[in-house]
Amino acid sequence: MAKHLPANRVELLHGTLDLLILQSLRWGPNHGFEIAQHIGRTTDDVLRVETGSLYPALHRLERQGLLDSEWGVSDVGARAKFYRLTTAGRKHLESEQKRWTAVSTAIGQILAHRPDEA
């Protein structure tokens, strides 16, 4: 069991980050810096996305056809590469959200479980 742990951990992080990125783009296109800022702000800096993980994830999601990208100009007037959800990305986000809700509910139930309630 122990010898497979590192691989599982990496897989979990990848999956979670992908979900966070897709959700950040649910309300419209955004660029890499703003996506990272959005995740940090929304979680009160509990979750911080490192650039070493962010950009590989963005490029991987784009390769998988879940994101699309194009260069544009940001709110502050600087040039930036904007990512947006594709139709496939939106569907994927919805299914991943359902799965995540189910998993978190299950985990919540386990955490809230008391022996005398059985």
Partner 1 sequence: MTAPGDEQRLRDLEDEIASHLQHAAMDLQARGLQPDAAAREARRTFGNIRIVTAATHAQWRASLFGALQRLWRTATRGLRQAPAAAVGAVLALATGLAAVGTLAVVCDRLWWRPVAGVAAVDQVVRVYPAGFWTASTRAYVEFVDLQAGSTTLAAVAAYRVQSQPVIVEDTIVRARVAEVTDAYFGLLGVRAAAGQVMQPGDADGCVVSASLASRVSGTSESLLGATLRVGPVRREVRGIAPATFVGTDLLPIDVWCALPDQPRDRRSFDGVHVIGRLRPGVSIVDADRDARRVSREGWRRDGAPLTEDVLQLGPLAVTRGVTRPLDVEVARWLLWLAVTLLLAAVGTVTTLLSTRTLASGQARAVRAALGARRWQLTEEPVVLGLTLGAAGAATALVLTTLLVLALVPRLFIGERSWSLPPEIAAAVVALGMASGAGAGLVAAARTYPNRLSTWMSDLRTSRASAPRVLRGVLAVQTCISMVLLVTALLLIDGFRGIAQQPLGLQLDDLYVLTVDPLGAVPEGEEARWLTVLRAEAAARPEVAAAALAHTVPFASSWRTRVHVEGRDPDVAGTQGGGRFNPISRFVSPSYLDAVGTRMLRGRGLRDEDVAGGPSVLVVDEVLARRLWPGQDPLGQCLRLQAPLNPCTTVVGVAEAARHETYFGERPGQYYVPLSQPVRGEVPHALMLRVPRQRDAEAVRASLQGRLGVQGIVRLGPASAGVDDVRRPWRSGALTMTVVAVMAWIVTAAGAFAVAGESERRRMRDLAIRRALGSSRARTALAFLRPTAVTVLAGVLVGAAASLAAVGPLRGVLPQLAVPGPSLLARAALAVMGGVALACVPALRRVLSREISPVLQEP
**C-alpha span between 22 and 94 (Å, rounded):** 10
**And the tokens for 80?**
């930036």
For residue 10, give the DSSP letter: H
Positive or negative: CA dihedral 24, 27, 32, 35: negative
Window 1 to 30, contacts with partner 1 (CB under 8 A): 3, 6-7, 10
Question: In angstroms, what is the minimal distance from the CB of 3 to partner 1?
Answer: 5
Rounded to 5 degrees, what are φ and ψ at 46?
-70, -45
The H helix count followed by the E strand count for the chain is: 4, 3
Q: How far is the CB of 71 from partner 1 (least distance, A)?
A: 8
Using rule CB under 8 A, residue 80 touches partner 1: yes
By CB under 8 A, the residues from 33 to 72 that bind partner 1 are 33-34, 37, 50-52, 55-56, 59-60, 63, 71
- Please report, as ranges, the residues that interact with partner 1 according to CB under 8 A: 3, 6-7, 10, 31-34, 37, 50-52, 55-56, 59-60, 63, 71, 74, 76, 78-81
